Amino acid sequence: MTDQNQASIARELIAFRIGDQEFCVDIMAVREIRGWTPATPLPRAPTFMKGVINLRGAVLPIVDLGARFGLKTSEPSARHVIMVANIAGRLVGLLVDAVSDIIQLTDESVQPTPDVASEEVRTFVKGIFAIEGRMVSLIDLDHILPEVEAEAA
């Protein structure tokens, strides 16, 4: 599912806010959106791993996207939102401030990430585009989870 974005002409994206920045991901990757529930922390996990929660009997890891992008660490409250996304067959909860919009977009309107961005940012940001004068970053979810140690399953 990594390359389908390039192939399709017009697609739907789901936009969300972290702090005062706006991002979006392919809507097909998002399974559901739910409110914040307290997570169980994992030992020795990176700071952006908020822990795990119970999603109808399954154990769902929660990634604080803001911390993952190096923006800010959220102190989650009831107002925060978890987007449950399917990333390469795994279900992952993405902690964001709010879900703002559903955007329709053609590939031509996406501009590659400018060179000013650091390598780290470019790992996650596939491109940027403008909508109603705001800048929105298109996120690639594939590298959101910490690198899994050599288990190719």
- Residues forming contacts to another protein in the complex (CB under 8 A) are 38-45, 51-54, 57-61, 90-92, 145-146, 148-151
**Residue nearer to another protein on the CB measure, 1 or 135:** 1
Q: How far is the CB of 20 from another protein (least distance, A)?
A: 30
Q: How far is the CB of 125 from another protein (least distance, A)?
A: 24
In the chain, which ranges are E strands?
A: 10-18, 21-26, 30-35, 49-55, 58-64, 81-87, 90-96, 98-106, 111-112, 125-131, 134-139
Distance CA 152, CA 150 (A): 6
Closer CB to another protein, 43 or 133, in the complex: 43
Residue 151 burial class via C-beta count within 10 angstroms: exposed 0-12, middle 13-18, buried 19 and up: exposed
Angle CA 119–84–67, to nearest 5: 35
Nearer to another protein, 22 or 142 (CB): 142
Q: How far is the CB of 96 from another protein (least distance, A)?
A: 18
Contact 36, 81 (CB under 8 A): yes
Compute the least distance from the CB of residue 66 to another protein, in Å. 19
User: Cβ closer to another protein: 37 or 100?
Assistant: 37
